[in-house]
Amino acid sequence: MSAVIQAGRRRVEISRPRKQLFPCGITKADLAGYYDQVATAMLPHIRNRPLNLERYPDGIAGERILQQRAGRHFPSWIKRARVRKEGGTVEHVLAGDAAALVYLANQACITPHPWLSRTDALDRPDRLIFDLDPSDGKSDTRAAARTMAELLRELGLEPWVMTTGSRGYHVTVPLQRRADFAGTRAFARDFAELATKRNPGVFTTEQRKAKRQGRILIDIMRNGYARTAVAPYAVRARPGAPVATPLHPGELEDAATRPDRWTLRNIRDRLEREGDPWRAIGARRQTITVPRQRLIGALAEFD
């Protein structure tokens, strides 16, 4: 048995639509319908970005498949981008329309992970992302995200914050693409060092969880060529199907704002009421040139 979703101008067949992907009863058809309905908000954030696909053919309790390469069986209308990698190239999927998102959902792709750069300048990121990862369930990650945002503003940068749908937040700076990945990663590394020196009881850059002592990891590892981050409005492979959700300014002040607050079942009401809080992010791109000098000066205070 199959079903068909009319996604824009294309009719996309959903095989085994009643296949349960989440313990709460969410099916493959539910997932595909969700991505069709949020495509207008989601696509501007992932269009022309190579995607890594996080797939669960047997549901989230089954095997996790991380897929970079576009499947040979994918139809010709699914756009692709061939990118360089060590020792050769690889062809990634691009999602340019709602039909592509629906097709990927039919492949049990629960979470698409886009690059931080676009196909016209793959070595020039237009996103700088700090991933706040708590080491336990007791850390106040929301307060930590506020602290990170305030420090970025101190340097002259305006942050955009998103729940990850998992345990933490992404604090994001949209960039003008003047720096390459080496430059943005160096800035991220030094900024994480400054945040840790300013707030040693809150933040750490220690990757090993056993050495974090309850502090929140500032993970900068996404800021590199071919590295990815969860897409805005992507569903996460966790019970309840939480969704990575861009926040309005001020929502970090609300105690109800949790990393997993919005789900596949309730995010569409939020979008209908309020629209996408990040709809203008592409027009707010910034440069790290002057903030870099301020960052160096701030770090010098600890010498």
Entry field: residues in the chain: 303
Query: Would you state the structure tokens that stand for residue 114, as one six-digit string?
Result: 């886009």
For residue 280, what are the contacts with CB-CB under 8 A and spacing of at least 6? Answer: none
pTM, two decimal places: 0.95
Which residue type does 207 have?
Q
Report the alpha-carbon distance of residue 34 to residue 39 in Å, rounded: 8
d(CA 97, CA 227): 23
Task: Please give the pLDDT value at position 29.
Answer: 97
pLDDT computed for residue 213 by the predictor: 85
The domains located in the chain, with CATH, are 1-114 (3.90.920.10), 119-303 (3.90.920.10)
Q: What is the pLDDT of residues 84-109, one digit of tens each?
A: 888 889 999 999 999 999 999 999 99
CB atoms near residue 73 (< 10 Å): 6
pLDDT tens digits, residue range 26-79? 999 999 999 999 999 999 999 999 999 999 999 999 999 999 999 889 999 999
First to last CA, the chain: 67
Give the tens place of pLDDT for each residue, 274-302: 999 999 999 999 999 999 999 999 999 98
* Interacting residues of 200 by C-beta distance below 8 A, sequence separation 6+: none
User: Is 37:107 a contact under the CB 8 Å cutoff?
Assistant: no
For 72, other C-beta atoms within 10 Å of its C-beta total: 6
Q: Would residue 213 be called left, alpha or beta, if left means φ above 0 and alpha means ψ between -120 and 50 degrees?
A: left
Of the chain, the percentage scoring pLDDT greater than 90 comes to: 92
- Which tens digits make up the pLDDT trace of 94-147? 999 999 999 999 999 999 999 999 999 999 999 999 999 998 877 799 999 999
